[in-house]
């Protein structure tokens, strides 16, 4: 017995759109849709009892090229990767390394003391430790029996 598959035009349009995105990604590289020359960095954010910790992958950057700001409960990372000189005498077979500037804003899960923040940059990984605001830290209340 033959199975009939219902034609759904919207599903077909989504499939076609995905196929076109893959085509342009292969031709022009990822990020062509945003118009960015540099993709935003990958970030991990977690919290401990006293701190918010943010780790960002920033390969090829120098510490001097990174700016960090906290306004309210929003953390913003900005930076610029400088392009190496292109080799004009050669034909590139693959040219995927990107250069340019980026800015990425992240909402913080709680208030922090930005004046006590610590930033370390090692092996292309930025580690930012932001102490939580005192009023946001968990407090233990002991119960006394009478």
Render pLDDT for 81-116 as a digit per residue (tens, 0 to 9).
877 776 777 777 777 777 778 888 999 999 999 899
Q: What is the pLDDT of residue 84?
A: 73
Q: Which two tokens stand for residue 88?
A: 């004009």
Question: What pTM did the predictor assign?
Answer: 0.64
Q: Determine the pLDDT at residue 56.
A: 94
Q: What pLDDT shows up at residue 37? A: 45
Architecture of domain 40-83+98-135: Sandwich (2.60)
Amino acid 35: pLDDT: 46
pLDDT at 54: 96
**Extents of the domains making up the chain:** 9-36, 40-83+98-135
Q: Which residues in the chain show pLDDT less than 50?
A: 32-37
Which pLDDT score is estimated for 106?
A: 92
Give the Cα separation of 44 and 40 in Å (integer): 13
**For residue 70, what pLDDT is reported?**
93
The angle subtended at Cα 141 by Cα 138 and Cα 143, nearest 5°, is 155
């Amino acid at each position: 017995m033959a199975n009939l598959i219902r034609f759904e035009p919207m599903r077909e349009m989504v499939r076609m759109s995905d196929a076109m995105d893959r085509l342009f990604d292969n031709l022009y590289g990822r990020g062509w849709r945003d118009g960015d020359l540099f993709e935003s960095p990958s970030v991990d954010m977690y919290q401990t009892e006293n701190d918010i910790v943010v780790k960002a992958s920033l390969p090829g950057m120098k510490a001097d090229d990174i700016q960090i700001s906290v306004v309210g409960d929003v953390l913003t990372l900005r930076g610029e990767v400088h392009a190496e000189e292109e080799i004009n005498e050669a034909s590139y077979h693959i040219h995927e390394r990107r250069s340019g500037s980026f800015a990425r804003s992240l909402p913080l899960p709680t208030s922090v003391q930005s004046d006590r923040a610590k930033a370390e940059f090692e092996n292309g990984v930025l580690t930012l430790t932001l102490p939580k605001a005192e009023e946001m830290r968990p407090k233990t209340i002991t119960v006394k029996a009478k």
